[in-house]
Amino acid sequence: MGALGRPRVILLTHLLVALELTCLFMRFSIMPYLTRRLGLDSVAFGYLQTAFGVLQLLGGPVFGRFADQRGARAAFTLSFLASSAFYLILAAACSPALPGVALLYVSPLPAALMHALPAAQMVITDLSAPEERQAALGRLGLCFGVGMIFGSLLGGTLSATCGLRCPASVALVANLVAAVLSFTCIPISTKRVGTHAQAAPPGRAQASVFDLKAISRLLLRPGILPVFLVKVVSGFPSGLFMVMFSIISMDFFQLDAAQAGYLMSFFGVLQMVIQGLVIGWLSSHFSERALLRTSVLGFIVVGLAMALMSSVFHFCLLMPGLVFSLCALNVVTDSMLTKAVSASDTGTMLGLCASVQPLTRTLGPTVGGLLYRSFGVPVFGHVQFATNVLVLLALWRQPLAQKPDKVW
């Protein structure tokens, strides 16, 4: 494990994730305003989001396999160096003396390697016993909440007081510091550390990082594909709404950058409490299958409320249900999927899981933009309700296989 020891490695992993997510939400808070200042419309903003999503979608599984083969230190360092390159380009795009539009279109290129969260999930998975995994992954939600709160506040405040270039520059410095910490403090590998870690099959030749057949074979293992499909389909409608949220906050809620930052900070507080505390407690009392069904049911109820929403106050009221459903879906499916593969493949599996969000960002701007222009905000609630009703019916007709080790 190295000089730090297991507890300190876990603590440092959480700190690095919180730092990465803080920078992520700083970016979210300035991107729509930067594109508008450079004269780009919502369609161009959608293209940028799509390009970012495509690159992360393609890079996620490959990055996960790289993490399995090269170890946690290399994975974290590579991710933070890629993020540093991204924020350097973004800061340059904010300069009036440089071709901002061209740089903005170039900026998504490093996104294929920006996967610090899957790297952290791999470390937590490797260092936790299978029966503790769901709660351990849930505690990463504390980092997500911290990142959302401070990132949204810093992004809105710094851009309002010091200009749009300031948040990008701060994020650049933060990611360079994180890269140095990763290279010097994270152990080379966290594989086969816990007593419950499964060894890789003996005699198996190490395939290439880019071996797509080896990656796709994971999805064909028993019990994996149904869970993965539930993860993709159930969360996709809410993902559409979140992709369009920056536009909705400006046009529908009539919020400025600072106000939107406060709203996302509230979202972050909920995420931190629910995923970091509530999901962990529920996981010790109920089975993963029960929590999965509850999350889908929550999406149905929230979808109905979203269809009737007419103000930012209404959105604040439905936020707790939305956050609970998102947290439960992601934590439970990640836990189920990593338990279904050997310890040598957890990074690859988490890379596949991490590709779900980029898939939403890839399709979301086009699909979400079309739905928003044609039918308005209520359509997101209608789609979420209808989709999750079908998912819930499928779960009841064909329950997912699971050991009956917890209370139903």
Q: Give pLDDT tens digits for 256-273.
A: 767 777 787 788 788 888
Which helix (DSSP H) or strand (DSSP E) does residue 33 occupy? helix 6-37
- Of the pLDDT bands very low, low, confident and very high (cuts 50, 70, 90), residue 41 is confident
Domain that holds residue 123: 6-185
With 0-12 / 13-18 / 19 or more C-beta atoms within 10 angstroms meaning exposed / middle / buried, residue 107 is buried
The DSSP letter of residue 200 is P
Phi and psi of 205, rounded to 5°? -70, 140
Q: Give one word for 71, left, alpha or beta, with left for phi > 0 and alpha for psi -120 to 50.
A: left
At residue 389 the predicted structure's pLDDT band, cuts being 50, 70 and 90, is very high
Residue 134 lies in a domain: yes
Task: Give the tokens for residue 244.
Answer: 């369009």
Residue 329 belongs to domain with CATH number: 1.20.1250.20
For 50-74, b where at least 16 C-beta lie within 10 A, e where not — what string? bbbbbbbbebbbbbbbbbbbbbbbb
Q: Tens of pLDDT along 17-29?
A: 999 999 988 888 7
Residues 154 and 252 in one domain: no
The angle subtended at Cα 79 by Cα 367 and Cα 190, nearest 5°, is: 120
End-to-end CA distance of the chain: 37
Per-residue confidence (pLDDT) for residue 407, from 0 to 100: 33
Q: Say whether pLDDT at 124 is over 50.
A: yes
**Could you say which of 185, 203, 238 is where a domain stops?**
185
Residue 341 and residue 231 share a domain: yes
Could you give the CA distance from residue 267 to residue 340 in angstroms, rounded to a whole number?
31
User: What are the backbone dihedrals phi and psi of residue 252, each rounded to the nearest 5 degrees, phi first?
Assistant: -85, -45
CA distance 67 to 123: 10
Question: Could you tell me where the DSSP H helices lie in 71-115?
Answer: 72-93, 100-106
**pTM, 2 dp:** 0.72
24 and 146 together in one domain: yes
pLDDT tens column, 173-208: 999 999 999 999 888 888 754 433 344 444 445 555
Confirm whether 205 is domain-assigned. Answer: no
275 and 353: one domain?
yes
Q: Which residue has the tokens 């809620």?
A: 253
**Do 273 and 221 fall into the same domain?**
yes
Residue 64 amino acid letter: G
The one-letter amino acid at 87: Y
Is 190 among the domain residues? Answer: no
**Per the domain annotation, does 292 fall within a domain?**
yes
- Evaluate whether residue 405 is within a structural domain: no
Query: How many structural domains comprise the chain?
Result: 2
* Helices 224-243 & 378-397 angle (0-180, nearest 10): 170
Instruction: For residues 297 and 376, state if they share a domain.
Output: yes
CA distance 272 to 22: 13
Say yes or no: 101 and 136 in one domain. Answer: yes
Residue 407 covered by a domain: no
Same domain for 239 and 317, yes or no, is yes
The rounded distance, in Å, linking the Cα atoms of 235 and 353 is 12
43, two tokens: 């369609």
Select, from the ranges 35-44, 49-58, 87-96, 217-226, the one with the highest average predicted confidence (pLDDT): 87-96
> Which of left, alpha, beta for 128 (phi over 0: left; psi -120 to 50: alpha)?
beta
- Residue 403 confidence (pLDDT): 44
| pLDDT for 117 | 87
pLDDT of residue 399: 65
